[in-house]
Amino acid sequence: MELTERLAGTLRAILEDKDGEKRMRELFSVRDLELAEALTDLELATILRHAWDRRNNWAGHGGVPGQYVLGERLRDLDSLLERTRAVLGWSFETWTLLKLAR
């Protein structure tokens, strides 16, 4: 969690510099800054912190939770997923994540 917050702070600082946008394009090897902006969004850090809290608070060895508890957890996680999608949007659309070998 701390790494995410530090990364966001560092990226925001780079973006605020005089040649920050150019530097960010070089770091991410992209033409647009959508992903960099998404990674620096404070909402993303809030979402990840909430997920981290849930992971630490939900008992893993205390028996099987009932249907009601599972339903509540599913709604909570679904909400986090929706919020994450809203922040990241199409940030990765312009990236080539896999390249076929020839």
Dump the DSSP string for the chain: -HHHHHHHHHHHHHHHSTTHHHHHHHHHT-SS-HHHHHHT-HHHHHHHHHHHHHHHHS-SSS-PPPHHHHHHHHHHHHHHHHHHHHHHTTTTTT--------
> Domain coordinates of the chain in residue numbers?
2-88
Per residue in 28-80, pLDDT (tens digit) is 887 778 878 888 888 888 999 999 999 888 877 677 888 999 999 999 999 99
Tokens describing residue 102: 């020839």
Q: Is the pTM of this model over 0.75?
A: no
| Cα–Cα distance for residue pair 67/82, rounded to 1 Å | 22
Residue 94: predicted pLDDT: 65
